[in-house]
Structures are given as structure tokens and as C-alpha cells.
Amino acid sequence: MQKIKLYSSLFIALLVALGAGSVTQAQTSVTTNQAGVNARIDVLGGVFEPLSNIGPSQSRIVVYRTTSTQQLPGATGVFIQGQYHTSLVPGGYSQLCLPPGQFEIGARQFRVGQNARDSFDTVTALALPPAQTQYLTVVESSGRPVMKPVSAAQAQQELGTTRLQIHTISRVAQAQNCVEAAAPVAQPEQFILSSDALFAFGRSDLNGLTAAGRESLDLLTARLRKDYVRIDRIHVIGHADPLGSPEFNERLSVNRANTVRQYLQTSGQISAPMTSEGRGARQLVETRCARQTTNAAILCNQANRRVVTEVTGQRR
């Protein structure tokens, strides 16, 4: 068994107060035999709140003690790799971020009136994988505390009424400040409309939108309003086929994207930032067509003549 280090007189006095049973579910502080500012010490802080995800270079453990462990008198000392972390009273929890790896979680019950021991009551071996949170709860086994790993679902249910254990300072050398994982980058959803259906031949202005094209854009607007709780951004991209001069195709793709953006903006149905650009014939989806301007080549390139609307936001 690993050795437990000695503590200050104030810490011992606090453990005595805890061991005497002066903390209950309704009490968040204890009275000690010390004078002055140490006469009364807060032991429990704020109520547990859901934890954010952590990055891949860390692991997190959450240790807690429910109020159903009153049969264990006093506070449960929690040790990581033999180093003191916290003393849990019923209804208390604590969290700690560590590098991923193998760890030993020791538990020792501090009881008033008994001689201090230099060994743990129990030790739990635990593997801490990266970017994950492991939950351990105090359970009683033959009168001794055991740090029992539990599922996240069970822990979330039991942690709802616990409060943060705040009366001591962790001495775990490997402890790290928890670093939140980077928020996932939202990938835009793409809606593709055929330019042949949107515009009359060779046109790119608002008056060049066909009746079917206007109807398609109205249906797109209605769908976005129905499918999205929030729209953060709309980006319209025009594409052309490779027939004709690159300059003309570039200009045509830019103008058609601008026109679709203007139509969506002036509809007044979507209040989100909108941008547009043209990419000419640089991103073909159909590459097997002949490059000579023939009826067959025009028909073959139909898929390349398109307007793509990218929508970023929160779906329902």
C-alpha cells in the first residue's frame, strides 16, 4: 500500500468535524475547533452542471458521493497515484483532468476517534482514455469505501443533486487545467439547382429568371425555414460549363450567383448573412463531354450548369 502524507492542523480539524457527522444533505459548511476565519468553513459549492467535452490530450475523472452512503461515517478521502485529491462528504463531487494512462484511485474513510492509518481502505485501478470522462462513485463494501466506476448515464442521474467539494486543495502532481475540446466546425448543407431551370438561355439577371426558376427558389426558401431552427450563413456559388470562352463562363457564373443571392435576400423570408461567388468551369461534375459546342455537348454539360446554395446553421 502507498503511504499517505501528513496534513496541517486545520485540515485535521476539518476532518474531525466531518467525521463527527456535521455535514448533511442540507448543510454546506462545518464548524471547526479553530478560531477566527477558520471557525466555519464552506465544504460544498455550486450544484453539478453538465461538463463540456475535453480535448484529445487529456482525460477527466469525476468522483462523487451520494447521500445514500451515510452508513460510511465521516469523509471519504480520494487519492490519485497515492497523492491526496479531495475528501468527499455525502452529496459532494469533484473533478480532475489528467493525462491519459493507467491510474490507481485510493479511498480512505476519515473517522473521528480512530487512529490515523498510513494505508488506503481500497484501491481501484483505472484506465483513462483520451478525450473521455470517467465517473467513480463511493460505495460501501464491508464497512469500507470503494471508488466504483459507473456509466455516464448513471452518473449524470446521480450527480444532479450533488455539489462541488471545495474545502480542500488537490495535491495531485499530474493534475492539469481542463481544456475544452474545439467546437466541431459546422459543415454547410448544399442545395443544387440547375441553371437551365433557373434562367432563360444566356441570361443571368433577375428578369432572366424563369417562372420555374422563381418557383424553385421559393420552394428552397420554404424548405430552409421549415428545416432550420437557425440559419447562420448562406453562400451561393455559380458554376458554368466549359463551352465557350473562360472569361464569358466566369462572368456568367458570377452574375447568376449574384442574382440568386439577391432573389433570396429580397424575398424577406430569411434573415441571415448572404454571400455569392462564381467559379466558372473550374469545378466540373461531368468531365466526359466533348469540348466542341454541339447540341450533344450542350446536353451532356447540363449538370455542370448549376447554382449551389450552401447553408450553415442549426437544423431542427
Any idea which residue has 473521528 for its cell? 112
Cβ-contact 51, 95 below 8 angstroms: yes
Band of pLDDT at residue 10, cut at 50, 70 and 90: very low
Q: Which CATH number fits domain 9-165: 3.30.519, 2.160.20, 2.60.40, 3.40.50?
A: 2.60.40
CATH code of 189-315, in short, is: 3.30.1330.60
Band of pLDDT at residue 61, cut at 50, 70 and 90: very high
Task: Give the pLDDT confidence of 262-286 residue by residue, as tens digits.
Answer: 999 999 999 999 999 999 999 999 9
Report the pLDDT averaged over residues 151-174: 93
The yes-or-no verdict on residue 167 having pLDDT over 90 is no
Domain with CATH 3.30.1330.60 in the chain: 189-315
Domain with CATH 2.60.40 in the chain: 9-165
Torsion over CA: 192, 194, 199, 201 (sign): positive
Close Cβ partners of 156 (under 8 Å, ≥ 6 residues apart): 50
Classify 101 as helix, strand or coil.
strand
Task: Give the pLDDT confidence of 174-212 residue by residue, as tens digits.
Answer: 999 999 988 777 789 999 999 999 999 889 999 999 999
Report the pLDDT averaged over residues 215-222: 96
Band of pLDDT at residue 41, cut at 50, 70 and 90: low
The yes-or-no verdict on residue 73 having pLDDT over 70 is yes
Confidence (pLDDT) at 182:
84
Task: Give the pLDDT confidence of 116-148 residue by residue, as tens digits.
Answer: 566 899 999 999 999 999 999 999 999 999 999
Cell of 135: 465517473
Any idea which residue has 475540446 for its cell? 181
What is the overall mean pLDDT for the chain?
87
